[in-house]
């Protein structure tokens, strides 16, 4: 090879290396931007934050015998979940590790510690009171733990942590009503109520009196409307007609019906979307969820991204999901910002605090001019 050719080949190689380094620097800058950007987590289940290792540790300290010898065996069990029903089966099995007030405090605090470096400043966390009282854990035990976590989250991480009590759609209306009344003394900590668990055929009608009473007592209101489940369109309309909700958890099927889009937007109902569900990968699922999230965002719906049950779903926490939206869905900086801004707009904090968060959010964006 002539000297000239060798020189050209050398320069080309250097240029390719420089481009690679530059691209990976860009990717690092985008990653830190997305992770560090302030955000509010509004769709996260306390019980679903339990990771395999947490489960084993809590079982052991409560002297409960585990069917699983190690974390890998717990993760194998998580692979069993293939839809909402099977997912809830595993969820109910694993949450039974929690027995004492300390367990509830500890699980909530493990979550806060995990997301404190993902930009999370405010959390409205679901918990399932019925799943604990029905196995003999008094509500007062659960609430004592959550109260401590609320205080420690602020003291140790500067995170504002509040709770939403979810009633199970596959349990009776009377049970929901009884639990609602029992929650009255905790109104300062439990800012709202929701509905979760499998979507039974008559769930909106069944819970109309519960939600009317919750409104009377000053609780904010949301409900799960899971994605691509049977009768979803009818359930969306019945929820709008009967439950007077301020938010919908998931609600991605709104994107499939232009009239629903119009109605949800007109009523100012916010959606808390979760791009992932289940421990296992299901081909096409992430793409279809991201596509609907984009459609709803473009339609002017107040939608934001959340993690649902990260401990039971491949450890994808909220920052990881914003990153996934960019890396897998091609979401631009403008879209990522809009989703995070919506998380503050949709939260149930008072207006003074919301304005303070929004101001801090805008300042943070101005100080981080990363383009993508």
Binding residues for ligand ADE, per CB under 6 A?
Answer: 45, 48, 84, 91, 196-197, 224, 226, 308-309
Task: Measure the CA angle with vertex 365, ends 359 and 366; round to 5°.
Answer: 90
The residue of the chain with the least Cβ separation from ligand ADE equals 196
Shortest reach from residue 356's CB to ligand ADE, in Å = 30
Residue 206 DSSP code? H
Shortest reach from residue 226's CB to ligand ADE, in Å = 5
Nearer to ligand ADE, 224 or 333 (CB): 224
Nearer to ligand ADE, 34 or 107 (CB): 107
Shortest reach from residue 249's CB to Zn ion, in Å = 5
Shortest reach from residue 48's CB to Zn ion, in Å = 7
The residue of the chain with the least Cβ separation from Zn ion equals 308
Which H/E stretch holds residue 109?
Answer: helix 101-115
- Does the footprint of Zn ion cover residue 47 (CB under 5 A)? no
Nearer to ligand ADE, 153 or 195 (CB): 195
* Partner in contact with 39, chosen from ligand ADE, Zn ion, none, beta carbon below 5 to 8 Å by kind: none
Place of tokens 């639990």: 179
Residue 108 tokens read as: 């909530």
Q: Provide the mask over 94-133, with x wherever binding to Zn ion is found by CB under 5 A and - wherever it is not.
A: ----------------------------------------
C-beta separation of 223 from 192 below 8 A: no
Shortest reach from residue 310's CB to ligand ADE, in Å = 11
Shortest reach from residue 165's CB to ligand ADE, in Å = 13
Q: Which residues pair with 44 in a beta bridge?
A: 125, 308
**3-state DSSP assignment of residue 97:** coil
DSSP code string of 123-187: EEEEE-HHHHHTTT--HHHHHHHHHHHHHHHHHHH--EEEEEEEEETTS-HHHHHHHHHHTGGGT
Nearer to Zn ion, 106 or 308 (CB): 308
According to CB under 5 A, which one of 272, 308, 311, 320 is a site residue for Zn ion? Answer: 308
C-alpha 241/C-alpha 349 separation (Å) is 25
C-alpha 46/C-alpha 275 separation (Å) is 18
Reference 117, options 154, 146, 159; nearest CA is 159
Nearer to ligand ADE, 37 or 142 (CB): 142
Shortest reach from residue 91's CB to ligand ADE, in Å = 6
C-alpha 302/C-alpha 264 separation (Å) is 9
* Partner in contact with 197, chosen from Zn ion, ligand ADE, none, beta carbon below 5 to 8 Å by kind: ligand ADE
DSSP code string of 288-345: HHHHHHHHHHHTT--EEE--BSGGGTTT--HHHHHHHHHHHH---HHHHHHHHHHHHH
Nearer to ligand ADE, 226 or 320 (CB): 226
Nearer to ligand ADE, 99 or 197 (CB): 197
- By the criterion CB under 5 A, which residues form the site for Zn ion? 308
């Amino acid at each position: 090879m002539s000297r000239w050719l060798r020189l050209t080949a050398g320069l080309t190689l250097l240029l390719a290396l420089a481009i690679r380094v530059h691209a990976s620097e860009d990717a690092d800058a985008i990653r830190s931007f997305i992770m560090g950007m302030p955000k509010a987590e509004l769709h996260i289940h306390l019980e679903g934050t339990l990771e395999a290792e947490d489960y084993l540790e809590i079982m052991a300290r409560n002297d409960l015998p585990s069917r699983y010898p190690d974390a890998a065996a717990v993760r194998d069990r998580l692979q069993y979940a293939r839809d909402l029903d099977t997912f809830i089966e595993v969820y109910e099995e694993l949450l039974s590790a929690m027995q004492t007030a300390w367990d509830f405090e500890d699980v909530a605090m493990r979550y806060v510690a995990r997301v404190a470096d993902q930009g999370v400043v405010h959390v409205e966390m679901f918990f399932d009171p019925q799943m604990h009282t029905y196995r003999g854990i008094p509500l007062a035990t659960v609430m004592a733990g959550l109260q401590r976590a609320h205080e420690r989250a602020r003291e140790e991480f500067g995170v504002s942590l509040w709770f939403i009590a979810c009633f199970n759609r596959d349990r009776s209306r009377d049970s929901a009503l009884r639990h609602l009344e029992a929650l009255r003394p905790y109104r300062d900590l439990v800012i709202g109520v929701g509905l979760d668990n499998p979507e039974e055929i008559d769930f909106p009608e069944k819970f109309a009196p519960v939600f009317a009473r919750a409104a009377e007592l000053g609780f904010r209101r949301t409900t799960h409307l899971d994605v691509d489940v049977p009768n979803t369109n009818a359930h969306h309309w019945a929820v709008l007609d009967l439950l007077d909700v301020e938010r919908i958890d998931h609600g991605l099927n709104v994107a499939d019906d232009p009239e629903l889009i119009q109605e949800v937007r007109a009523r100012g109902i916010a959606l808390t979307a979760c791009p992932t569900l289940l421990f296992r990968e299901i081909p096409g699922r992430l793409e279809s969820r991201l596509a609907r999230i984009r459609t709803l965002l473009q339609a002017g719906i107040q939608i934001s991204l959340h993690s649902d049950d990260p401990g039971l779903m491949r450890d994808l926490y909220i920052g990881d999901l914003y990153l996934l939206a960019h890396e897998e869905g091609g979401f631009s900086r403008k879209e990522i910002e809009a989703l995070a801004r919506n998380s503050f707009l949709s939260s149930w904090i008072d207006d003074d605090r919301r304005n303070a968060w929004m101001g801090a959010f805008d300042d943070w964006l101005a100080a981080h001019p990363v383009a993508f």
